[in-house]
């Protein structure tokens, strides 16, 4: 599961959407069969054993093969996750990428550009008691959303603001280690806050 769960299943599959975890594939890799309504109105059943090439292509097809009308997905019983977020120096992460990537079932890290600071996030299945993230209007809404959005907007006119802006927000909001335990989707998903332009790259590890 990625950072939102508002998508349709058809959209999720067709864009190759993904979450994180070294032992996990993209969301499409959990699909075992699907039906496509093709341009000539036929229904094409696809799986590893039936129309295999189309099935493989449909895993990231942006709708060009037809409309996905039914999907069979592998599932597992609902689970909780314990997530630990830790401030770490970027050089430490890059120098020990194997160790970090394998340190949790689900791992990701964020770098704060123009600084040497980063945050690691690792989540594992747990039976521990729920300990959801504590919400704070001042931290989450005022500082972490509205003020940040305003200052980022200002930095699009004055780019030289960005280094100190990123360092300031790292120090203010991400410099301490936090641990939460919650239902899986609440841990995987996070508020993407405001409108943003995103470019996604894949780099060999
Ligand atoms: C705030 C935000 C956070 C996100 N976070 C992540 C993330 O963490 N990880 C990640 O991988 N992605 C992420 N995404 C991307 C998101 O998963 C994709 O944009 C997804 O496609 C959205 O699904 P949708 O139902 O809105 O599809 P749409 O945007 O409606 O469609 C996307 C594509 O799929 C095709 N399509 C849709 N339905 C079907 C169908 N039934 N049959 C055939 N083709 C179809 C459309 O033609 C189109 O090409 C994020 C997006 C947003 C807006």
Residue 194 has pLDDT above 90, yes or no: no
**Residues with Cβ < 8 Å from 34, sequence gap 6 or more?**
13, 45, 46, 47, 55, 58, 68, 70, 71, 72
pLDDT at 142: 93
The closest alpha carbon to 85, from 113, 110, 115, 114, belongs to: 110
C-alpha 58 to ligand 1 mean position (Å): 14
Q: What is the value of pTM for the model shown?
A: 0.91
- Residue 40 — pLDDT band, cuts 50, 70, 90? very high
pLDDT at residue 129 tops 90: yes
Residue 182 CB neighbour total at 10 angstroms: 18
What share of residues in the chain are helix, strand, coil (percent, to 5)? 35, 25, 40
Answer yes or no: is pLDDT of 205 > 90: no
Give the mean model confidence (pLDDT) for residues 157-177. Answer: 96
Structure-block tokens of residue 172? 């203010």
20 shares its domain with 98: no
Average the pLDDT over each of 92-101, 136-145, 166-175, 193-202 and give the range with the smallest value. 193-202
Residue 197 has pLDDT above 90, yes or no: no
Q: Is 58 in the pocket of ligand 1 (CB under 6 A)?
A: no
For range 141-155, the mean pLDDT: 94
| C-beta 3 within 6 A of ligand 1 | yes
Whether 189 lines ligand 1, by a CB cut-off of 6 Å, is no
Let me know if residue 205 belongs to a domain.
no
50 assigned to some structural domain: yes
One domain for residues 69 and 110: no
104 and 164 part of one domain: yes
Hey, which of 7, 26, 35, 64 would you mutate to test ligand 1's pocket, going by the most ligand atoms within 8 Å of its Cβ?
7
pLDDT at position 184? 96
User: Is 136 found in the same domain as 96?
Assistant: yes
| pLDDT above 90 (res 32) | yes
| Structural domains counted in the chain | 2
Which atom of ligand 1 approaches the CA of 26 most closely? Answer: 11
- Please indicate, yes or no, if residue 129 is contained in any of the structural domains: yes
Q: Are residues 95 and 153 in the same domain?
A: yes
Same domain, 182 and 112: yes
Q: Is residue 85's pLDDT more than 90? A: yes
Give pLDDT, residue 193.
Answer: 87
Residues 139 and 54 occupy one common structural domain: no
Q: Which residue range is the domain that position 147 belongs to?
A: 83-188
- The closest residue, in CA terms, to atom 29 on ligand 1 is 11
Q: Note the pLDDT of residue 191.
A: 85
User: Are 104 and 163 found together in one domain?
Assistant: yes
Please identify, among 32, 48, 73, the residue that sits at the C-terminal boundary of a domain: 73
């Amino acid at each position: 599961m990625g950072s939102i769960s508002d998508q349709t299943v058809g959209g999720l599959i067709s864009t190759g959407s993904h979450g994180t975890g070294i032992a996990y594939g993209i969301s499409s890799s959990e699909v075992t069969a699907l039906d496509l309504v093709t341009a000539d109105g036929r229904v094409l059943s696809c799986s590893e054993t039936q129309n295999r090439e189309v099935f493989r292509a449909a895993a990231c097809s942006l709708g060009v093969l037809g409309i996905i009308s039914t999907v069979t997905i592998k599932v597992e019983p609902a689970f909780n996750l314990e997530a630990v977020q830790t401030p770490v120096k970027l050089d430490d992460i890059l120098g020990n990428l194997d160790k970090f990537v394998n340190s949790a079932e689900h791992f990701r890290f964020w770098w704060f550009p123009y600084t040497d600071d980063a945050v690691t996030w690792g989540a594992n299945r747990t039976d521990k008691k729920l300990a959801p993230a504590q919400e704070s209007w001042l931290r989450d809404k005022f500082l972490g959303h509205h003020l940040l959005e305003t200052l980022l907007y200002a930095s699009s006119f004055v780019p030289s603001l960005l280094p100190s802006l990123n360092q300031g927000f790292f120090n203010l909001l991400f410099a301490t280690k936090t641990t939460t335990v919650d239902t899986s989707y609440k841990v995987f998903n996070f508020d993407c806050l405001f409108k943003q332009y995103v470019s996604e790259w894949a780099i060999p590890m």
